[in-house]
Amino acid sequence: MPVRIEAVRGDITQEQLDAVVNAANEALAGGGGVDGAIHRAAGAAELRQACASLGGCPTGDAKVTPGFGLPARWIIHTVGPRWEGGGRRERELLASAYRRSLQVADELGARSVAFPAISTGDYGYPREEAAAVAVDTLRTTPTRVELVRLVAFDDETLALYQALLAA
C-alpha cells in the first residue's frame, strides 16, 4: 500500500504522530528555526544530551532520539544541504535526507511521520525546488510508513505542497 502524504500548516512540535523529523545541523547541537523549536518543546537539556551521544550526523543522513516532551515518540534528526546555487549535489543530498528519514522510521516501526520543509530556512534552499524534491522522494521511496505529514510553517510552503500533491 503506498504511503499517504498530506500537507498541513502548523507547528511540528505539536504533531501527534509516531515520529517527527528535525531539520538539524551536523553537530545535532540545536539551533534556530525548526531545530530550536523542537529542542525547546522536547526539553533542551535531555535532547541535547541524547544528541551529543550520537556523534553528529552527516548531511543527507538521519539519526534518532526519543521524543522526550513531544507528543511524538521519536525525533528523527536529519541534515539537509546548505543551498550553494545547485551545483554542489544539493538536490541529491536533500533527497537523501528525506529517504534516510523514512528508512530510520521503518527501522523504528513508525507508521506515521511529520516532516518540516528541510533546508528552506537558514540553509537557503529555494522553497519551490525543495518542495518538489520532498514530494517526489516521499512518493518514490519504498517504506512501511503509512502516513507522511508535510508540516508547513507558512501559507506559501503549504500552497506549494498542496499543488504538488494534487498533480
Active site residues: 35
Strands 74-78 and 62-66: antiparallel
135 closest CA partner among 162, 155, 109: 162
3-state secondary structure the chain: CCCEEEEEECCHHHCCCCEEEEECCCCCCCCCHHHHHHHHHHCHHHHHHHHHCCCCCCCCCEEEEECCCCCCCEEEEECCCCCCCCCCCHHHHHHHHHHHHHHHHHHHCCCEEEECCCCCCCCCCCHHHHHHHHHHHHHHCCCCCCEEEEEECCHHHHHHHHHHHHC
Separation CA 86–CA 63 (nearest Å): 25
